[in-house]
Amino acid sequence: MKHYNILIIGGSAGGLSALRSCARLYPEKSKAIIKLDSKTLIPCAIPYVYGELHNSNNNLIPNGIIEKCGAEMIIGEVEKIDKKNKIVIFKDNKEISYEKLIISTGSSPIIPKIPGYEKNGIFYIKKDAKIIDEISEKISKAQNIVIIGGGYIGVEFAEQIKEISNHKNITIIEGSESCLSMTFDKRYTEEIENKLRYVGINIVKNKLVSEFCGDKQNINSVKLNDGTIIDCDLAIVAIGIKPNVEFAKSSKIKLGKSKSIKVDRFMKVDKNIYACGDCVENFSFFTHEISNVKLASTASMEGRLVAENLYKNNFPNPGIIGVYVTKVHDKAYAGAGYTKKAAEKEGLEIVEGYAKVINRHPGSLNGAGEIEITLIFNKKSKRIIGAQISGPLVIGETINILGLAIEKKMTAYELFFMQPATQPKISASPIMYPIVEATEDALKQFN
């Protein structure tokens, strides 16, 4: 039986991030990573396989990372973990022993069990290269496409398909009041939806699919809960994910209220087992209640955290903030932490700071564009608790600054006195820097 000091189950964001940090921290220890397939997709780029990337082979996490970390790659599916004897048992009955085990098995798409859900032409966004290539092939042949779910995956799929194949009829069906409503307030969701409509994407809101219609085998339309029928020869379902914890159940690994692997603040499952990523039960940075936010960036952070805590350190997980960025047509949209709606739902008294500035100085320089930014502060503590931005692609890094500011519980005055790097052709003016401008607008309202 082969033995490894560090054995990782799962080769995506969480598992690979854990491996890379383990290579730095414990170079003398033997390491291996277990994957279901030799190909691991970059999950965030899946919507771009159709079109810009052409096929899944251009959207792979390179296995060279594993070799560079001095680890072995094992292809197989885990059946069970024998915690007492520290053995991983595979479905083909192969066994491997470990000293420390890291579980990072990720998630799978939620498949709604509504009538007709198994018909041909309905696709669920699984992180599988063969499935994603099949979806791309079917998209190229389809004319009427329905996308169920107006979250990031749904919006990005719709935008990318329309950009590449403008002649196709695309409809997004969103069950809530707006697309991306978990991240953005009305000012931004309205603009996002207007961008989608501008390029010819139809949006149906506050409606649910009640049936996939067609003959015994193939879909030809979807029926909504108000009786509306929308024709389609292809449906993409992106309504959420569920943790991959099947083998954990049979291994007597404890699951939490969310049916995900229960870990402590240090990502520990028990004495020699840790877990990270979509398969674990996370908690909110703000409320310490269970969080449903699942992101590759969060999984990567948790993977690094697991590695640090595996043998010698005790770094607690700060909790999930939720930091997002996406592109819709010609603009980027980013958000972090609380929206105004979510903060008020929690009973928080807030102050909003708003600014609209040009990202060049002077604004007549090439590449000039408008940045719109809203910062949300707790009125009592003056700490930043949320941020939303739209504008050029550079705002993807601006939201990361604000995500860190939220995590470090920075106050309005600390943000107001920040010292940003600025350059005429790269950034906004130091006199009217977006974060500072929005913060100053908020400061007017505190007194």
Q: What Cα–Cα distance (Å) separates residue 336 from each residue in 222, 296, 376, 387?
A: 34, 15, 10, 5
Residue 102 near residue 275 (C-beta atoms within 8 A) = yes
Helices (H), 199-355: 246-250, 296-309, 340-345
Model pLDDT, residue 53: 86
Question: The pTM is what?
Answer: 0.94
β-pairing verdict for 229-231 and 241-243: unpaired
Provide the residue type at 75 as one letter: I
Name the nearest CA neighbour of 337 among 117, 143, 185: 185
Instruction: Provide the token pair at 119.
Output: 């018909």
Q: Any idea which residue has 């209220």 for tokens?
A: 257
Domains and CATH numbers, the chain: 2-107+242-309 (3.50.50.60), 111-239 (3.50.50.60), 330-446 (3.30.390.30)
Model pLDDT, residue 253: 95
- Per-residue pLDDT of 154-199, as tens digits, reads 999 999 999 999 999 999 999 999 999 999 999 999 999 999 999 9
**Per residue of the chain (447 residues), what is the pLDDT tens digit?**
899 999 999 999 999 999 999 999 999 999 999 999 999 999 889 999 987 888 899 999 999 999 999 999 999 999 999 999 999 999 999 999 999 999 999 999 999 999 999 999 999 999 989 999 999 999 999 999 999 999 999 999 999 999 999 999 999 999 999 999 999 999 999 999 999 999 999 999 999 999 999 998 999 999 999 999 999 999 999 999 999 999 998 899 999 999 999 999 999 999 999 999 999 999 999 999 999 999 999 999 999 999 999 998 789 999 999 999 999 999 999 999 999 999 999 999 999 999 999 999 999 999 899 999 999 999 999 999 999 999 999 999 999 999 999 999 999 999 999 999 999 999 999 999 999 999 999 999 986
Other C-beta atoms closer than 10 Å to the C-beta of 91 total 11
Angstrom distance (rounded) from CA 402 to CA 389: 10
Model pLDDT, residue 345: 94
Instruction: Provide the token pair at 360.
Output: 């060049």
